[in-house]
């Protein structure tokens, strides 16, 4: 169950934070950037679901884990910068 819910939780966290950042920091996080990242996440999840329905399990790779870590670090940095400076 954790193998299913953990990646979904990561995706929801990143997607919601990106939407908030587009509103708070439009000069830094443009809407096309958020659309591109969110679209990629949907595409990867969809492809994994299709593969899973055929009995193929695509495991997470180390590079993907670094990507999520980099995304969370970037989003957190932008949100903290906004919280402390209040500038858009």
Q: What is the pLDDT of residue 32?
A: 96
Q: What is the pLDDT of residue 61?
A: 85
Q: What is the pLDDT of residue 4?
A: 67
Q: What is the pLDDT of residue 58?
A: 82
Q: Provide the 8-state DSSP code for 28.
A: T
Higher pLDDT, 42 or 86: 42
Question: Over the chain, what is the mean pLDDT?
Answer: 88
Count H helices and E strands in the chain, helices first.
3, 0
| 20-60 pLDDT, tens digit each | 999 999 999 999 999 999 999 899 888 988 988 898 888 87
Name the token pair of 69.
């870590």
Percent of the chain with pLDDT over 90: 51
The pTM (predicted TM-score) of the whole model is: 0.80
* Residue 63, number of CB atoms within 10 A of its CB: 7
Residues 34/22, Cβ–Cβ less than 8 Å: yes
Q: CA 3 to CA 6: how far, in whole Å?
A: 6
* Residue 48, number of CB atoms within 10 A of its CB: 16
């Amino acid at each position: 169950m954790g193998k299913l819910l953990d990646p979904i939780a990561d995706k929801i966290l990143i997607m919601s934070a990106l939407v908030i950042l587009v509103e708070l920091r439009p000069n830094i996080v443009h809407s096309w950037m958020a659309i591109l990242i969110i679209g990629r996440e949907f595409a990867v999840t969809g492809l994994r679901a299709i593969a899973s329905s055929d009995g193929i399990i695509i495991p997470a790779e180390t590079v993907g884990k670094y990507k999520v870590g980099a995304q969370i670090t970037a989003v957190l940095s932008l949100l903290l910068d906004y919280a402390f400076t209040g500038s858009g």
